[in-house]
Structure 1
Amino acid sequence: MNIEIVRPQDLTPEDIARWADLQALDLSFENPFLSPYWAQAVERAQSPGKYGFKVAILREGGRAVGFLPARTGALTALPVGAPFCDYQAVVCEPGLDFDPVEIIRALGVHRFDFTSLLASQEPMARFGKDATETRLVDLPNGYAAYEAEQKSRGAKIFKRLGTSRRNAERNFGPLRFTAMSPSVEILDQLIAMKSGQLKETGKSDIFGPQWSNSMVHDLFRSEIPDFGACLFTLHVGDELAAIHLHLRNRRVLSGWLITHFEKFQSFSPGVILFQEILRWMETVGLTRLDLGAGDYQFKRAFANATQGVVSGSIGVPSPVTWMREAAYGAATIAEALPLGRFSHYPARARRRLDVIRSLH
């Protein structure tokens, strides 16, 4: 197997088509964060800059059999678009046998740190340190069949949403759902609200760097068929109640940025908007809504499937790799000690530093 390294912008039309074909072989690979167009959008937003953007193309007999994009520095690599990137994987032929360490060598770094790598990809996932699940809504037979099946399993969310809708309309006016809104003004409002929420909770403002705003707007303007950022809104009467921005690929819509207005919080406008989006999806050929990680009640209620992901790092033998291993080891020891809430501090500190590294 040969490994060729190219920039995302230098991918040939044939390579992009091959990448898309490999995605189509596995619905897990069809997530938009694993698309070549995602890598290209991120590179446009962050260029020129101090980091490199590379795609490792795995070839057998000259034929592309796998793709892995990364943002590279002098010593380490991160997922393209981190901390916005919800999934990582080598998009490849089913059952492909490859050596992840050789890919890292080819990228010209000592270590690749990943945050949400598909656990089903064993060659990469065996380097994972922490595991979690993302929640999915699969609609192979459309929304009506999905809702009926969920109700048969005892899901109460649909009855609650019916009550919330009636209360909202009685108190504020009729509900109005808009899919694929072209409003840049509403998009900017969403970004400002998310930025404010992050600052208020003491988290890193992922919209602070200019590149993140440029990337989101670039994805929103995308004219690539079946790829880009989709803006959804829910109005109550004449007032805006909830805003969602999700990323789509051919069959998968991936939940991304969501917010709602406190005035309407009592009737869960953001959750109602998710339901409207699920109904809309079958009209445009989308069969999966990826709700992402996070143990939220509405995600548990909507989801009818899960998908494992792992975080960790892959590296060549070097001090840079050993330092990361030591950091994971310290976190494991701390979590095993009877330190109460302090036992999670080392892992939280590492994750926060990873976000800061990704943004700057």
Structure 2
Amino acid sequence: MDISVYRPGELSAADRAAWTAMQSKAHLHGAPGLANPFLSPEFTLAMGRVRRGVRIAVVREDGEPAAYFPFHRSTAGVGRAVGLGVSDAQGLVHRPGFVWDARELMRACGLAVWEFDHLVEGQEPFEAGASGTFPSPVMDVDQGYETYLGQLRAQSPKFTRTTLAKERKLGRDAGGVRYVHDERDPAALATLMAWKSAQYRRTGRSDRFAHEWITRLVHQLFHTRSEPFAGILSVLYADDKPIAAHFGLRTERVLACWFPAYDPAFSKYSPGLILHLRMAEAAAADGIAYLDLGRGQKEYKDSLKTRELTVSEGWVTRRHPVAVGHRARRAPVRALRNVVLSRPELFEPADRLLKRMGHFRSNR
């Protein structure tokens, strides 16, 4: 393999086009996960503008691009997936039939270890280092919205009936409901981010938007628009007032759900669920194959999903003291978190404690 490593700004237009072409054809070659927006060059380039250490390895065979591997590297040689912690799809984007040696790639990238938490399916050389696999629910709309809704009615009749009834009641009570699939007003984005920050604090979670680089990243992607990629802000209005919103990323075939939130004053109408159904309808009309709801067990995801993808977390390591030390620090924390999340008898008390802490913090 001929491997060259670039900073994001050094990537040529030809390489960006080749990378995008690999993504657009991935579903035809049995690797649909590679079409996820978090694996797009646009996401990596945006990350490079807000975080130091972002790099892209370009693998060529016979002078032609065969694969693109975005990663984040520290000065000590610790590697992480680009956007680790906020990215819902990670891995190497490659042409059909490409086979790679994970440790040879890491050596060329100057990495002692590469950590991932949302590795997409079909990345066998990396999967050898996986410590766990997790479901990532999706909403299939490739056969059209009515087909999706029919499947939803069959698998969750009460949920579907109740949600649609709440939408009708919202329209009656609020003087009309309006949905904008691709809202370009920055004020609407600011409203969403304020709702989401309040939700994080209310539930005792870490506020992602308290990190300047995440806020900058979202703004970068909100203003990123090309034929194969865009940041999409979707907003549900009641009487011309925003009551629910979502910001995500789309490629030609995938809408990756990312930051959903709503105005708690309208919670009795389940505006977040109504919003997701409207998103599904608009995405189907745009030719999107599925909405990826992302890793994580949530009741609303279980209600909306049609099936599940699988993502993995873990490490690829070389024989290096830096790799040993990094894994020794990270492995116990990850293992404990996953045990708590997977066992209701542990998760529910922990969740209640976080919410009590959030309530205290919000009322200080």
Shorter-chain TM-score range: 0.7 to 0.9
2:67 corresponds to which residue?
A: 66
Equivalent residues in 2 for 1:83-122, closer than 5 Å: 83-122=85-124
2:15 corresponds to which residue?
A: 15
Q: Is the alpha carbon distance of 1:133 and 1:333 closer, same or farther for their aligned partners in structure 2, counting shifts above 3 Å?
A: closer
Q: Is the alpha carbon distance of 1:156 and 1:125 closer, same or farther for their aligned partners in structure 2, counting shifts above 3 Å?
A: farther
- State the Cα distance separating 1:193 from its structure 2 match: 2.3
1:254 corresponds to which residue?
A: 256
Tell me which amino acid in the other structure corresponds to 2:34.
Answer: F
2:277 corresponds to which residue?
A: 275
Q: Is the alpha carbon distance of 1:19 and 1:263 closer, same or farther for their aligned partners in structure 2, counting shifts above 3 Å?
A: same
Q: Is the alpha carbon distance of 1:181 and 1:333 closer, same or farther for their aligned partners in structure 2, counting shifts above 3 Å?
A: closer
What secondary structure sits across from 1:147 in the alignment? helix
How high is the TM-score relative to the length of structure 1? Answer: 0.87
Of 233, 236, 239 in structure 2, the residue corresponding to residue 237 of structure 1 is 239
Equivalent residues in 2 for 1:1-360, closer than 5 Å: 1-24=1-24, 25-26=26-27, 27-46=32-51, 51-75=52-76, 76-327=78-329, 330=332, 341=346
Q: Is the alpha carbon distance of 1:170 and 1:41 closer, same or farther for their aligned partners in structure 2, counting shifts above 3 Å?
A: same
Percent of aligned positions with the same letter in both sequences? 28
CA distance in 2, matches of 1:22, 1:264: 43
Between 1:66-75 and 1:18-27, the stretch displaced more is 18-27
Q: Is the alpha carbon distance of 1:45 and 1:330 closer, same or farther for their aligned partners in structure 2, counting shifts above 3 Å?
A: closer
Deviations 1:94-148 (A, max 9, x none): 3422111122212212111111101332111121112111011122221112222
Deviations 1:10-53 (A, max 9, x none): 2112211111121122321111000011101111223xxxx322
Between 1:182-191 and 1:233-242, the stretch displaced more is 233-242
CA distance in 1, matches of 2:4, 2:249: 28
Note if contact 2:33-2:121 (Cα within 8 Å) is conserved in structure 1: no
CA distance in 1, matches of 2:7, 2:61: 20
Tell me which amino acid in the other structure corresponds to 1:54.
Answer: R
What secondary structure sits across from 1:216 in the alignment? helix
Between 1:258-267 and 1:150-159, the stretch displaced more is 150-159
- State the Cα distance separating 1:330 from its structure 2 match: 4.4
CA distance in 1, matches of 2:17, 2:261: 35
- State the Cα distance separating 1:328 from its structure 2 match: 6.3
- State the Cα distance separating 1:190 from its structure 2 match: 1.4
Deviations 1:185-206 (A, max 9, x none): 1111211222233234443332
Between 1:166-175 and 1:181-190, the stretch displaced more is 166-175
Residues paired across the two proteins, number: 338
Note if contact 2:153-2:161 (Cα within 8 Å) is conserved in structure 1: no
Deviations 1:228-267 (A, max 9, x none): 2111111122332101111111111100111011111011
Unaligned runs of 5+ in 2: 351-364
- State the Cα distance separating 1:280 from its structure 2 match: 0.8
2:359 corresponds to which residue?
A: none
2:353 corresponds to which residue?
A: none
Tell me which amino acid in the other structure corresponds to 2:186.
Answer: V
